[in-house]
Amino acid sequence: MHSSHFPALVVGTGPAGLAATIALASRGVETLLIDRRLERSSLPRATTVSTRTMELVRSWGLEDRVLAGGVDVDWLMWQSHTLARATEGTAIELGLPTRAQATIISPTAPACVPQDHLERVLLDHVRGLARVELGLELVAIDNHADHVRVVLRDAAGRDRIVTAHYLVAADGARSTVRAALGIAFRGAQARLAGITALVRAPLWGMLGEHRYGIYLTSHRGGESLFLPAGPDDRWGFGYVVDAAGALSLPAAPEMVARLRLAAGVPDLPVEIGRIGSFTSAAQIADRFREGRTFLVGDAAHRVTPRGGTGMNTAIHGGHDLGWKLAWVLRGWAGAELLDAYEAEHRPLAEHNVARSADEMGSRRPSGDELRVDLSGRIDHHWVATGDGRASTLDLIGPGLTLFTGPDDAAWRSAAVATAGGPPVVVHRLDEITARALGLRAGGALLVRPDGVPVGCWTARMAPAEVLHAAIADARSGTHGRRAA
């Protein structure tokens, strides 16, 4: 069999695998991304793109391309008797900031973009960074002390061997890798079930200025949900059914009748696409790692649609693992940094799994869930740069980023003296922005690639000494905020 080697092998071209590959390859790590599927799904599936996910998309230079396939909405759930009576409806918080709120806390905002479009944009981007091979299925895995050996099988049944320093398993809820490693899922198997249809219908015209991410109608016959799923009046329509019962699909005329009833327009033109059903779980893997193999996305945790956190949690986990692996593979950090992946990502995953199991999990105050989504990253503030206006978040680099005030000479000298670890980029802020970030005169702030602070100091500190200690913390994954 043909054999090849890569520093990193990523299995699965879903949101988690794509995010991990971008984080790895953009830092100069040769990466192979594979998927057993030759064709991508044309179903919208998830449509909620959280604030933090959009910040990552922005950092990859893909914000405009992603938004081009979405719909301009405010992320609230609008509840009314029918869509035709939307003016009588009420708004329900979904744990996401509104557009007005987002302008205060981020350079971007949560978006309504169908997953099929988002994945296409990310995959196109990845093709320019890494090697992508579709139609390859992982059929065997063997973890060794210094590498992972896998057998890949193509559509013609031909096998090949690939070895990698590290393997990222982003191969979904029915993960072949997780099963091969004997890692169990814990939690409820069937927490939510429903019937869905992908439709095109002229709904925006009747909704007018009421443009939201989810519509809940309470017409006679039961509640129904409408979800914008792309431009040109592409919608997801569905309703919840008993998870313990048998799921039988309605015929197209029955689905059209229910949609017209929920819309409140008896003769509404409706084009029905695929009608399907779903059952979803709220589960988490016993562990996210086995030797040199790591689980990300649905391979590590499953959530129900409540809260719209599944795709976002997957992307956050893929990015978090990806930059940590890249640091290790580039020699910027020791292998102990990889222990921080599960330690830091599991609490987020556990929160979102529990939220999705809660019958009221979709209805959460935006402030509470925003803290979870942003995960401790530094604050956003606009600053003037040579290339125009940028956010403090836009200045964060692939290694470490040191923010200083106008009096930055000592910190710049200390940063130049650091060697043998991740690159340190220094950004000198004006006095007002420095104060807004909590920097006192002569102080500095050091942050990781995810924007999480690893050190904050005043002028009284010895720059070379404290910076060296904070970099050591960041490299080992034991970063403690060293404040004066």
- pLDDT tens-digit map of 286-308: 999 999 999 999 999 999 999 99
pLDDT mean over 381-389? 92
pLDDT mean over 444-460? 93
- pLDDT tens-digit map of 424-440: 999 999 999 999 999 98
pLDDT category of residue 1 using cuts at 50, 70 and 90: low
**pLDDT, position 59:** 98
Residue 140 amino acid letter: A
Instruction: Name the least confident of 144-158, 280-294, 308-322, 410-424.
Output: 410-424
**pLDDT, position 461:** 83
Please give the C-alpha separations between residue 32 and each of 3, 4, 127, in angstroms, as whole numbers: 13, 10, 10
The three-point CA angle 187-188-189 to 5° equals 115
pLDDT category of residue 472 using cuts at 50, 70 and 90: very high
**pLDDT, position 387:** 85
- What is d(CA 154, CA 336) in angstroms, rounded to the nearest whole number? 35
Instruction: Give the dihedral of Cα atoms 179, 185, 188, 189; nearest 10 deg.
Output: -10
Give the E-state strand segments of 88-223 in sequence order: 90-93, 111-112, 131-134, 136-143, 148-154, 159-169, 185-200, 212-217
pLDDT mean over 370-393? 95
Instruction: Name the least confident of 351-360, 388-397, 415-424.
Output: 415-424
**How many other CB atoms sit within 10 Å of the CB of residue 22?**
27
Residue 395 amino acid letter: L
pLDDT category of residue 420 using cuts at 50, 70 and 90: confident
> Has residue 24 got a pLDDT over 90?
yes
pTM (two decimals): 0.96
pLDDT category of residue 157 using cuts at 50, 70 and 90: very high
Residue 95 amino acid letter: G
Positive or negative, the Cα torsion across 285, 291, 293, 296?
A: positive
Contacts of 16 (CB under 8 A, 6+ apart): 170, 296, 297, 298, 299, 314, 315, 317, 318
Residue 373, both tokens: 């989504």
Quick one: which of 481, 393, 394, 397 has its CA closest to 444?
Answer: 481
Residue 266, both tokens: 């008896």
pLDDT mean over 229-257? 92
- pLDDT tens-digit map of 220-236: 768 999 999 999 999 99
Instruction: Give the dihedral of Cα atoms 457, 463, 469, 471; nearest 10 deg.
Output: 90
Contacts of 420 (CB under 8 A, 6+ apart): none
Residue 244, both tokens: 């313990």
**Which secondary structure element, helix H or strand E, spans residue 391, and what is its range?**
strand 388-391
What does pLDDT average to over the chain? 95
H-type alpha helices, 385-426: 409-417
327 φ, ψ to 5°?
A: -60, -45
Percent of the chain clearing pLDDT 90 (strictly above)? 90
pLDDT mean over 118-125? 98
Distance between alpha carbon 324 and the CA centroid of its chain, in Å? 16
- What is d(CA 47, CA 49) in angstroms, rounded to the nearest whole number? 6
63 by Cβ neighbours in 10 Å (0-12 / 13-18 / 19+) ranks as middle
Percent of the chain clearing pLDDT 70 (strictly above)? 98
Contacts of 145 (CB under 8 A, 6+ apart): 291
Give the E-state strand segments of 242-345 in sequence order: 271-285, 289-290, 293-295, 301-302
**How many other CB atoms sit within 10 Å of the CB of residue 360?**
9
> Is the separation of the CB atoms in 435 and 444 below 8 Å?
no
